[in-house]
Amino acid sequence: MGDGLGSFRTTLKYFTMKKVILKVKGMSCMGCTAKVRKAIEKEGGREVKVSLEEGKAEFFLENGNLQNILRSLEMLGYPADVEQIIG
């Protein structure tokens, strides 16, 4: 039986992460957003949300490397700029 702190620990983990918002160029379809999401997840992004309409990607980053994410997106043909980092 658990200690009852599972959801608290999950919530606490998100306080230690940084929320990152990227402006992503070159996305034109839902396939593009899926590629962007997968690339961010592969490099350590969590809770990734990609908006084709806004041209943005939002995610939490704890142990990943933001430069690796930007490089991966560039290599896929989706250059991105950091719009905001929170936390």
pLDDT digits (tens, 9 = 90+) for 43-60: 999 999 999 999 999 999
Can you name the CATH fold of 16-86? Answer: Alpha-Beta Plaits (3.30.70)
Comparing CA positions, the residue from 29, 67, 75 lying closest to residue 50 is: 29
| pLDDT higher than 50, residue 25 | yes
Identify whether the C-beta of residue 57 lies closer than 8 Å to the C-beta of residue 21: yes
Per-domain boundaries in the chain: 16-86
CA 18, 24, 26 angle in degrees (round to 5)?
A: 160
pTM: 0.81
